[in-house]
Amino acid sequence: MAVHYFPLFHKLTGKTILVVGGGDIALRKITLLKRAGCKVRVVAPSILQAIESDPACHCEYREFQPDDVQGMALVVSATDIESVNKIVSECARKAGVLVNVVDSPELCDVIFPSIIDRDPLIIGITSSGQAPVLARSIRAKLESTIPASYGHLAKLASRFRERVKQRFRKMDDRRYFWEKVLNGTVAEHVYAGRNEQAEHELERLLENTSFEQTGEVYLVGAGPGDPDLLTFKALRLMQQADVVLYDRLVSEPILDLVRRDAERIYVGKQRSDHAVPQTDINRRLLDLALEGKRVLRLKGGDPFIFGRGGEEIDLLAEHGVPFQVVPGITAASGCACYTGIPLTHRDHAQSVRFVTGHLKDGSLDLPWSELASPQQTVVFYMGLQGLPKICTKLIQHGRAPDTPIALVQKGTTPDQRVWVGTLATMPDLIRHDPPQAPTLTIVGEVVTLHERLNWAGAVTDP
């Protein structure tokens, strides 16, 4: 199938570009051209001060003349006068000079793409002039998934390019080596800002005849359930892991974003039912990393807030295995936002506390007097089974029986539901209409804002 434009990257450093027009349209084009290191000659009856004061621009206050295109590397017509644009295009083409006319594809030899700049990595996106807004939209989506540090990685690869050529004479061997480097530990060091470690690792791989890769563990918070709440870094690591260990709280839509050919190991845990004991999970992470694999430990919420993340990386640190921790939106923040319940509010709560609904030994031995203090919001994780006792204990230690309370089921997902009541009424509410785990409980006056601020339309039970 024929295409309208063939993509090329034109080196314009030191060359002169003619821009016809001196308004806002011309300014946008000049801004792009200057980044390529070219000289800009501007011809127009009136020229913006921002253009005139730019030392990279030579301005001439007059109408366009046909001879202006002579000797130019590129001509850009950036006026809003159709007749002028047409004349500029005709003169440039007659002189054999490439021309771009803004918003007039039929008058163009070249068009300006939407650009993602990760110098020296440059990505251009075009709709062949047919739908520039769509091209910009696609650029915005790609911008969010391509870290700024990709440019640093490209520069590092450039410094080693000749040495790699000398080390690996066959093109296939070089390609295999670079695939290992650019999708492995070296790249992760760069993304994390550890440039010195990245260079040392690349040196090590270059000297290693088998260039085996050191394993690494990515401890990633998957958030409360909505895949749109994943961080860019989380998504990138999910796409490059060799094996993933995931638990019950990771939703299916999020798991679908993991690299397709990655090995998946379910290690789900729920109250009194651990598919894999925690000590076994810790050991498996270590063993897989020692095999040279990139291991993704995907956890619901945030790994450092009731996620046992500290326990899982402690063994890795002891054995010197590299790891990264990527925070996720914790359930308290996600569920509160998606139900219109601000965790703090100047009129209702000046502090917030996150509390686990059951301790390691299964008890509910909590600092109840502190939790019963007014003017604070208390959020209970994993407290569904013990909720009647939680309500009773808070009342016994001084919290008013009519204190508002909300129980959120499967927050941020399409199955989200909310039970709203008081400390006195909530036990009966859930007894007659039992929620399903996972749930989160929010206690405090801020719950009264739910009905008015429920922007996500969560299904609410009385």
Tokens of 152: 């640093």
Cα atoms in the Cβ-side hemisphere of radius 13 Å centred on 437: 14
Residue 115: predicted pLDDT: 87
123-137, 170-184, 352-366, 384-398 — most confident range:
384-398
The total domain count for the chain is 4
Q: Which one, of 118, 70, 112, lies nearest residue 91 by Cα? A: 70
Strand locations in 14-119 (E): 16-20, 39-44, 57-61, 74-77, 99-101, 114-118
Residues that constitute the known binding site: 24-25, 45-46, 224, 300-302, 305, 330-331, 382, 411
Residues 6+ apart with CB under 8 A from 164: 174, 177, 178, 206
Is 157 part of any domain?
yes
Q: Are residues 422 and 374 in the same domain?
A: yes
In contact, 444 and 422? CB cutoff 8 Å? no
Starting at the earlier edge strand, list the strands of the sheet with 243-246: 263-266, 243-246, 294-299, 216-221, 323-326
3-state helix/strand/coil string of 178-209: HHHHHCCHHHHHHHCCCHHHHHHHHHHHHHCC
Residues 450 and 385 in one domain: yes
* CATH code of the domain containing 176: 1.10.8
Tell me whether residue 118 is in a domain.
no
Q: How far, CA to CA in Å, does 49 sit from each of 27, 37, 43, 54?
A: 10, 21, 14, 8
Given a cut of 60, is residue 274 above it in pLDDT? no
Final residue in a domain of this structure, among 302, 329, 356: 329
| Known catalytic residue at 226 | no
Q: What is the mean pLDDT of residues 195-207?
A: 90
> pLDDT confidence of 266, banded at 50, 70, 90?
very high
A 10 A CB-CB count for 178 gives 15
pLDDT of amino acid 188: 86
- Whether 269 and 288 map to the same domain: the answer is yes
Q: CATH code at 95? A: 3.40.50.720
* Nearest Cα to Cα of residue 378 among 396, 415, 351: 351
DSSP, collapsed to helix, strand or coil, labels residue 438 as coil
Return the higher-pLDDT residue of 127 and 419. Answer: 419
Exposed e or buried b per residue across 325-357, where buried means at least 16 C-beta atoms within 10 angstroms of its C-beta: bbbbbbbbbbbbbbbbbbbeeeebbeebbbbeb
Note the pLDDT of residue 292.
84
Give residue 128's pLDDT band: very low, low, confident or very high (50, 70, 90): confident
- pLDDT per residue as tens digits for the range 77-91: 999 999 999 999 999
Within-domain flag for 141: no
DSSP helix/strand/coil, 462: coil
Binding site residue list for S-adenosyl-L-methionine: 224, 300-302, 305, 330-331, 382, 411
Q: Which long-range contacts (CB under 8 A, 24 or more apart) does 34-40 make?
A: 35/117, 36/11, 36/12, 37/12, 37/13, 38/12, 38/13, 38/14, 38/73, 39/14, 39/15, 40/16
What's the mean pLDDT when you consider all of the chain? Answer: 90
Give yes or no for a contact between 73 and 38, defined as CB atoms under 8 angstroms apart. yes
pLDDT band at 449 (very low <50, low <70, confident <90, very high): very high
Q: Are residues 183 and 245 in the same domain?
A: no
- Of 310, 329, 348, the position where a domain reaches its end is 329
Q: Active-site residue among 29, 247, 293, 410?
A: 247
> Are residues 346 and 325 part of one domain?
no
Does the pLDDT of residue 172 top 80, yes or no?
no
Which of 170, 196, 211 terminates a domain? The answer is 211
341 and 451 part of one domain: yes
Q: Check whether residue 267 and residue 382 sit in a common domain.
A: no
DSSP line for 327-387:
----HHHHHHHHTT--S-BTTTBS-EEEEESS-TTS-----HHHHT-SS-EEEEES-STTH
Distance CA 214, CA 222 (A): 25
Q: Specify the residue for token string 């002028």.
A: 84
Where does the pLDDT of residue 260 fall: very low under 50, low under 70, confident under 90, or very high at 90 and above?
confident
Would you state the pLDDT for residue 458? 65
Residue 263 lies in a domain: yes
Residues 239 and 259 sit within 8 Å (Cβ to Cβ): yes
Residue 443 pLDDT > 80: yes
Q: Are 273 and 157 in a shared domain?
A: no
Look up the CATH number of the domain holding residue 275.
3.40.1010.10
pLDDT at position 269 is 61
Query: Is 125 inside any structural domain?
Result: no
Establish if 251 belongs to a structural domain. Answer: yes
Annotated binding site for NAD(+): 24-25, 45-46
CATH number for the domain spanning 415: value is 3.30.950.10
Instruction: Inform me whether the pLDDT recorded for 444 exceeds 90.
Output: yes
- Asked if residue 71 has pLDDT above 80, the reply is yes
Q: What pLDDT does residue 395 have? A: 96
262/296 same-domain check: yes
H/E stretch holding 289 reads helix 278-290
Does residue 351 sit in the same domain as residue 421? yes
Which pLDDT score is estimated for 213? Answer: 57
In this prediction, residue 419 has a pLDDT band, given cuts at 50, 70 and 90, of: very high
Confidence of residue 209 (pLDDT cuts 50, 70, 90): low
Token look-up 């006068």 returns 81
What are the pLDDT digits (tens) for 293-341? 889 999 999 999 998 899 999 999 999 999 999 999 999 999 999 999 9
Q: Is 273 a residue whose pLDDT tops 60?
A: no
Show the domain range for 426.
Answer: 335-461
- The tens digit of pLDDT for each residue in 18-45 reads 999 999 999 999 998 998 899 999 999 9
pLDDT at 392: 95
Is residue 26 within 8 Å of 42, Cβ to Cβ?
Answer: yes
**The pLDDT of residue 184:** 80
Please check whether residue 117 lies inside any domain of the structure. no
269 carries an active-site annotation: yes
**Do 365 and 418 have their domain in common?**
yes
Q: 203 with 229, same domain? A: no
Identify the CA nearest to 382 among candidates 253, 272, 458: 272
| Residue 450, in any domain of the structure | yes
Token output for 49: 């001060």
Asked whether residue 360 carries a pLDDT value surpassing 60, the answer given is no
pLDDT in tens, 131-163: 888 888 888 888 877 878 888 999 999 999 999
